[in-house]
Amino acid sequence: MKKYTIITIVISLMMVACKSTPEQSPDNNSELIQISKEQFNSEKMEFGTALILPFADVIYFTGNIIPTTDGQAQISLPLPGIINKIYIKPGQFISKGSEMFEVSGNEFIDIQKDFAESAAITSKLKSDYLRAKELFNQNILATKDFTYAESNYYAENAKYTALKIKLEKMGLDVSRIEKGEFYSSFSIKAPISGFVSNIQATIGQYIEPHQNIAIVIDNNSFQIKLSVFEKNINKIKTGQTVEFYLNGNKSTKYKAIINTVGKSINYESKSVECYATIDNVKNINIVNNQFVEGEIYADCDSALAVPETAILNFENDKYLLLFEKEENSTYYFKKIKVKTGRKANNYVELKENLPSEKLLIKGVYNIHL
């Protein structure tokens, strides 16, 4: 009887021990991040994938807007004179050939007088030369007399031609001047189309030929003169894309193309001057000497990338959330630490491949790891 009692007690204790240790099943969701569909929709989260995108070495630069060499004209007088009229205003647009100034003066009268006299003398000397040439060919005139007539004609004709060119470049009718019908004044006309700046003349002012009295700038010829540090110059080539912005406004960027790479280093700034042609320059409101900043996109390659909005920053590390599964109106994501590289167009380069294609690309900013 005692034997059965002991066995019964042992069995009873074993049953109690088994009941006090419940069976454990592994929780596969314990390391996953859960996001309800309601939260997913309310915070406008989005699924997406990594993409293969082009990336380039980005080189920062500063520079300014300048016209091309044929897009700016310094206005001066061909000979000394007095300003009679001014037809232009600062900032005014004028077309090529438009009148800018009216000028008069004794020097202008004198050059017309000299031309008219030279025209008359040249005409007479030409007749003398042709007659002497005919006599010389008939062995009637001595060589020295023919040479004298020839040299006199050529010398005066050179003077006549030079004065004629000067007057024609001033837009005057030289045939009228040859008859003694002199102009009292002449006009200075715009050599190019553009906007007027730096007017440095007043009515009644006496102007010397070396003085600049205005500038005309063709705004359609604007380009970027940019400075690149010496250490980066080997990366710069013609044809590379430039993105630049004005007045520190990085939200609005414009494009240009490198057209010239400088071959001389500025020893003060340790930089090299390069030039870039601006795309659609007519549609950009820019002015001469305006300061610009931007980036040059150098050597280009392709790399795996995700939107910057997909990157989750935590304790100096960067993570992505990879989609694992969907259960009971809940999305489950696995966090994975990643190394990032270059940035371009709101995408960031990944230094490694991903084990999954589907990931959370928007709305991660409110998630705490």
Q: Collect all residues with Cβ–Cβ distance below 8 Å to 18 and sequence separation of at least 6.
A: none
pLDDT band at 369 (very low <50, low <70, confident <90, very high): low
Work out the pLDDT band at 281, boundaries 50, 70, 90: very high
Which fold would CATH assign to domain 58-69+218-300?
Elongation Factor Tu (Ef-tu); domain 3 (2.40.30)
- Dump pLDDT digits (tens) for 155-173: 999 999 999 999 999 999 9
Tell me, what's the pLDDT at 104?
97
Task: Give the start-to-end residue ranges of the domains of the chain.
Answer: 33-55+303-366, 58-69+218-300, 106-184
Q: Quick one: fold of 33-55+303-366? A: 2.40.420
Tens digits of per-residue pLDDT, 55-79? 878 899 999 999 999 999 999 999 9
- Out of 66-75, 173-182, 190-199, 355-364, pick the least confident: 355-364
Q: Is the pLDDT of residue 9 over 60?
A: no
User: What is the arithmetic mean of pLDDT over 186-192?
Assistant: 96
Residues in the chain: 369
Higher-confidence position of 316 and 8: 316
What pLDDT was estimated at residue 6? 35
Q: Exposed, middle or buried, 91 (CB in 10 Å: 0-12/13-18/19+)?
A: exposed
Tell me what the mean pLDDT of segment 90-111 comes to: 96
pLDDT bin (cut points 50, 70, 90) of residue 29 is low
Q: Phi and psi for 175 in degrees, rounded to 5? A: -65, -35
pLDDT higher than threshold 80 for residue 5: no
Per-residue pLDDT averaged across 257-261, rounded?
95
